[in-house]
């Protein structure tokens, strides 16, 4: 029987090596941090306020001399936890009138959600740090990464701390730059990053199989995806 060469697993093609200390470490040694940003209702602002926001945004972009990625994530609104809370409140309610009202409210919300897809949007700013610029790489060199597994480049603790310090200074600059536009920001922590990438790479499964707490997670390098 001829030997069948085993194809590389999907995991080997992913560029992420690990996630720790609120940082995403890529296999090429570069790092990423993800900042969750709030939204503002630009249409309801006055003309002067709109001009001020645009001017502040332009100034912010001009002050950045490294790659920055803005990601808008749209997801169907998940109210499972909210419904579970309502069901629990309904069961524990001793007042019959309030119990009926809770049940009626739960039914109304469920019908409202089923009538149309209610979407929720999240805004992320991906801050990167690459100690070696990739500008000199040719187009074909960068394109070949898509068709070949990413090679892992380990980081020592010293390298990790140095690169984390550099990326943290960039995060502070981003937060400071967009806070003047009325946008609030928060750094996505390790648990949030794991959940974020889990839902991105497993959009269908994430709706059925929820993430467990990070302290209960166990990683197996031999696991195939």
Give the E-state strand segments of the chain in sequence order.
16-20, 23-26, 31-37, 68-76, 119-129, 185-187
Q: Is residue 86 located within the same domain as residue 170? A: no
Is 137 within a domain? yes
pTM for the predicted model, two decimal places: 0.67
Residue 193 to residue 174: CA distance in whole angstroms: 18
For residue range 70-101, what is the model confidence (pLDDT) as tens digits?
999 887 777 778 888 899 999 998 898 998 99
| Residue ranges of the chain whose pLDDT lies below 70 | 1-13, 133-154, 203-225
Asked if 24 and 113 sit in the same domain, the reply is: no
What is the reported pLDDT for 10?
55
**215 lies in a domain?**
no
Based on the domain organization, do 134 and 26 belong to the same domain?
Answer: yes
Give yes or no: residues 29 and 61 share one domain.
Answer: yes
């Amino acid at each position: 029987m001829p030997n069948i060469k085993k194809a590389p697993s999907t995991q080997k093609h992913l560029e992420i090596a690990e996630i720790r200390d609120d940082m995403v470490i890529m296999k090429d040694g570069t790092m990423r941090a993800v900042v969750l940003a709030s939204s503002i209702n630009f249409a309801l602002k006055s003309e002067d306020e709109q001009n001020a926001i645009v001017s502040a945004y332009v100034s912010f972009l001009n002050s950045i001399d490294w790659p920055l990625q803005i990601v808008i994530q749209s997801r169907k609104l998940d109210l499972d936890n909210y419904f579970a809370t309502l069901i629990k409140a309904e069961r524990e309610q001793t007042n019959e009138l309030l119990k009926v009202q809770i049940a009626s409210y739960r039914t109304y919300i469920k019908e409202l959600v089923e009538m149309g897809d209610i979407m929720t949007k999240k805004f992320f700013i991906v801050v990167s740090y690459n100690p070696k610029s990739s500008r000199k790489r040719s187009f074909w060199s960068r394109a070949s990464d898509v068709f070949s597994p990413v090679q892992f480049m380990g980081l020592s603790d010293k390298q990790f701390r140095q690169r984390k310090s550099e990326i943290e200074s960039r995060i502070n600059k981003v937060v400071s730059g967009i806070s003047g536009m009325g946008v609030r920001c928060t750094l996505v922590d390790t648990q949030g990053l794991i959940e974020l990438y889990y839902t991105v790479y497993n959009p269908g499964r994430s709706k059925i199989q929820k993430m467990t707490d990070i302290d209960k997670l166990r990683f197996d390098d031999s696991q195939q995806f």
